[in-house]
A and B are shown apart, each in its own frame.
Chain A
């Protein structure tokens, strides 16, 4: 059975023209480009994919994705596969959340030689 994922994030409009869908990821870096996360459903203990869209006028370098369960002190057992789609969009495959509970999805984006950290909290029931 597919489990539902509930997103505890603040919806926000984009700062400039960036034709993306999904929910905005959090960053503590001031004036950081907006990053949006799009995912249909997250099945428990089975692989899923997400789409990460980076709204930056500057070319985006590498992008890395990971996830942890802060309360359990562990992360994913697999390294996700990131594929650049162009235009600041990335498809991330082979994500797997093997336990229900609160996960923190983490994205590191290289822009202008700086690695910027973004996160989103996802509760998987």
Chain B
């Protein structure tokens, strides 16, 4: 049963009559998208994750080209802090044009998987791989140790991790990645208009909730209902942090494909930098159950990690290959999805929604409220 909670928002002036459109069940579901921001938890796998000096060093390294072998670019070159820690290009430009869109780096603390293909199970490993990836920063552990030793950051590095000359190159690499990770773990998107709405609903303060635009409310209803978006985009981050086929082509060219989670798992399971590995600082191996127990399946082929929708309006273009230029295009993609592109024996989740123009506008209006103002 749909309950219409009418709030006499501007009763004194009588100018506008605003309403909360959600049913009781929809309100219960809306509450599951918060509260926001989440409480901060130290990363037990990274002993410096809550160390102020390590956080400051991580931020400095993030913005300095010292982490690329030839000083050509920094992490911030692709993950621009002024552009929601991404860039507007469809696909990232490292030393070559890479295959995937640059993901934003906010709200990363405590995830189960990192990257479009989930090739890391912790944030310091996700920070480490680009440093040594040939198509990105292209350092070797040895060249990184030399660069760090000769950099302006050597005093801070040694104050945190000890004398660098007593550390092997791989340990220097891991320590640098843990400093980066300490910084990245602090990046959280701001509260949004949606959060004010959600919290007002939790307080049962319907007059306050009714300030949330009706178009966004209708979009939320579609998101929870006929759109089936909530199957994958759930929880306070609007992501289940698992891997799905969203019907986006995974052919890179006529002869190559992006294997997505399939290759991500291959990488993960051969990596020494997982929570199950020796570089984990946590003797209890919290979170390592996932890499121990994760299943491999042919259906992993061409699936990609569900992105968070927090701050989504600030991170165009979209999808793993950046092929959709704006949120309108994303909603239209799902509305007219080509089911022939989906795995024949994969998940049976997506079908054409055949949304009206009004419904498309409503869904976009809702998504826009997941970012900070101005909307």
Contact = CB atoms under 8 A, between A and B. Distances in A.
Interface of A: 1, 3, 44-45, 47, 71-74, 76-81, 93-94, 98-101, 125
- The SS class assigned to the A binding surface is loop
Contacts, number: 58
Contacts of A3: 32
A77 B295 contact: yes
Interface of B: 28-29, 31-32, 34, 230-232, 234-236, 240-243, 289-290, 293-295, 299, 345-349
Contacts of B346: 73-74
Contacts of B293: 78-81, 94
B121 to A, nearest CB: 12
Contacts of A80: 293
- The SS class assigned to the B binding surface is loop
Contacts of B231: 72, 99-101
A125 B294 contact: no
A45 B235 contact: yes
Nearest to B241: A45
B32 A77 contact: no
Residue among A44, A94, A100 facing the most chain B CB atoms (10 A cut-off): A100
B261 to A, nearest CB: 9
A71 B348 contact: yes
B125 to A, nearest CB: 19
B242 A45 contact: yes
B348 to A, nearest CB: 5
Contacts of A78: 289-290, 293-295
B249 to A, nearest CB: 21
A125 B231 CA distance: 10
Contacts of B29: 125
B355 to A, nearest CB: 21
B347 A98 contact: no
A98 to B, nearest CB: 4
